[in-house]
Amino acid sequence: MSETINSLLSLTGRVIIVTGGARGIGLTLAEACMGAGAVVAVTDIVPQPDQEFIYLQAKMPGRLHYYPCDVTSREQLVHAFGQIFHNHQGVDGIITAAGICIDKPFLEHTWEDIQRQQAVNETGTFFAIQQTVRKMKEQGTKGSIVMICSQTAQHVSPGHQLTAYAGSKGFVWSFARNLAHELASDGIRVNTISPGYIATAMNLSIAAHRPDLHRIFNEAPPMRRMGRPEDLKMAALYLLGEGSAYVSGLDLVVDGGMSVTSGNFKSIL
């Protein structure tokens, strides 16, 4: 083999942006990119990242940088990305992990719920990627775009009440496929990762008030457990690295087998 597995997964010398990267899945993937050699620029809505983020900064000095940014604000997004491009002399890849999930019955959703969820999950994703692609094309970079989608984009998530959230992730799924086609001639690849039930603070806080949901999280997947944020690391590194140089328009599902249950989860509801 002319290329080793390590080189195919390596991100050494690359600049990767992670939106929503101050915590949860985003921070886990930022750490994975650092471990593969990248310099990582994280954006998130919180003014200051938490202690785990600060620990990682100290562990790998100069490799993890924070830019406060509300992706629903055009001014903040343009400013933050402008700072990133200036400070790091460009960009080679992006993971869009910024997102919110509202779990409630369809008839209880408010106008404000939908506007907020779409602003973060759809508009924020769209324009973060637009900023990135514009810079990639300016540089002539054959970069990689990875959007965090969801199992709910393609099938029902048992136990949840996610009509609005599923719609917003359906946008991400369709957007990625169309963008992959449009950018293929530029050598810019576009893919998605669709997690299943992942043990994030957001999911666990919902389940804390609904014991039935906690049981579903662990029994509905054929693998009989919730996923961990770490279960997404290799998917992200594969899609960002040279090992997937001929892969674009793919949805990489990491759901413990949920997508092949074909409704068999009904027995546990």
* Whole-angstrom distance, CA of residue 122 vs CA of residue 72: 9
Average confidence (pLDDT) over 132-138: 98
| 3-state class (DSSP) for residue 152 | helix
Is the CB of residue 152 less than 8 Å from the CB of residue 160? yes
pLDDT band at 95 (very low <50, low <70, confident <90, very high): very high
Beta bridge partners, 146, equal 95, 191
DSSP state of 121: I
Is pLDDT of 263 > 80? no
- For residue 245, count other CB atoms closer than 10 A to its CB: 12
* Whole-angstrom distance, CA of residue 146 vs CA of residue 30: 12
pLDDT band at 268 (very low <50, low <70, confident <90, very high): low
What is the token pair recorded at 140?
Answer: 């002539």
Query: What is the pLDDT at residue 1?
Result: 41
Burial of 81 per CB tally in 10 Å (0-12, 13-18, 19+): buried
Dump pLDDT digits (tens) for 173-211: 999 999 999 999 999 999 999 999 998 887 777 777 777
Q: Is the pTM of this model over 0.85?
A: yes
Nearest Cα residue to 94 out of 145, 55, 169: 145
* Whole-angstrom distance, CA of residue 242 vs CA of residue 237: 9
Using alpha carbons, list the distances in angstroms from residue 67 to 30, 42, 44, 192. 13, 6, 7, 23
